[in-house]
Amino acid sequence: MAGLYSLLRPLLFQLPPALAHDLGLAALGPFEHLAWARAALRSTFPSLPTSGAVRVLGLDFPSVVGLAGGFDKNARRPRALAALGFGHVELGTVTALAQAANPAPNLFRLPADEALVNRLGFPNEGAARVAERLKGLRGAMPVPFGISIGKSRAVKVDDLGAVVADYEASFDAVRDHADFVVVNVSSPNTAGLRTMQAREHAQTLLGSLRRRGPGVRLLVKIAPDLDDAQIEDVLSVVDEVKIDGVIATNTTVQRAGLATPPARVEAIGAGGLSGAPLRARSLEVVRRVRARLGRRVAVVGVGGIARASHALDMIRAGADLVQMYTGFIYEGPSAPARIARDLAESARSLGCASVAELVGTAS
């Protein structure tokens, strides 16, 4: 499968990124809807090693390698994605109000950097409609899955009450239909959204959601562009409000050190950068989150994961789980299962009986 994708990728990369993404989702359609097709898809990959399983958030993950939010925004392909070997799937981000993408072009490849830039801005059919699609899926999926919620574009960020109500509407729609809910306050593509990471705003929003769903596994996704004081502010709220986990990190607005010619980067313009250039900063933030919050919370590391060595670095920095998106685009459909197998082998080579022992979650 990896060899076939290496042949197909140059052809796919001739297509506009958004079109290639839509075609990829369409190709997964039969696997989503036909159980025998999913079984056939799983059989094309060697079985995930049982030594790769971990227990986090009170859930059993067959692998630490999951799919990051943003790939399947409307929850159309969760079962097919699980069949590719992901240990969990994060769906969305959804908003209370259905909304279109930001004006095109809004998705760009930077192959020299193994990176993407997107400024999509949470296009989705609306939380209520996506929730209908999720009904009956919880408990029927072979892996845990979560749903990410964000702010509707039409809601003004300077009206905190309206923002909180908007998140509450999404939360109420999806909370009973997923294993965990991710609060996305860190996308750079919704105007002003990142201000919700400020202490007073985060405390109001996260506190409200925590009270609204005391039994819901609640995680928050933070930006890589926060300085140390800002990270401390949001983590102090996570600690006080008893949020269950932190996803570190979202995409970055930084552009330093890219191999892509500056003129090309400038022509692309605004948007969140993901992929290999984000890896070092995500590692730093994961390390800081774990040091600040200890083992009480789950930490999910995301940013530049494309090989087992990257996942291992995240785990050593303090991550319980890792997620990939851009690496999935560049490495292909065999990547999640391959990374899971290679990571299990790395654990054995380091003298650990399992990846859970490596992560520190073994009982």
- Which are the catalytic amino acids? 187
CA–CA separation, 339 vs 21, rounded Å? 22
Crossing angle of helices 127-134 and 160-174, rounded to 10°:
20
Complete DSSP assignment for 58-123: TEEES-SEEEPTTSSTT-S-HHHHHHTT-SEEEEEEE-SS-BPPSSSP-EEEEGGGTEEEE-----
Residue 177 makes CB contacts below 8 A (sequence gap 6+) with 131, 134, 135, 137, 138, 147
Bridge partner residues of 115 (DSSP): 110, 275
3-class secondary structure, 261: coil
Residue 169 makes CB contacts below 8 A (sequence gap 6+) with 96, 127
CA–CA separation, 209 vs 186, rounded Å? 17
Dihedral sign computed on CA atoms, order 36, 41, 45, 49: negative
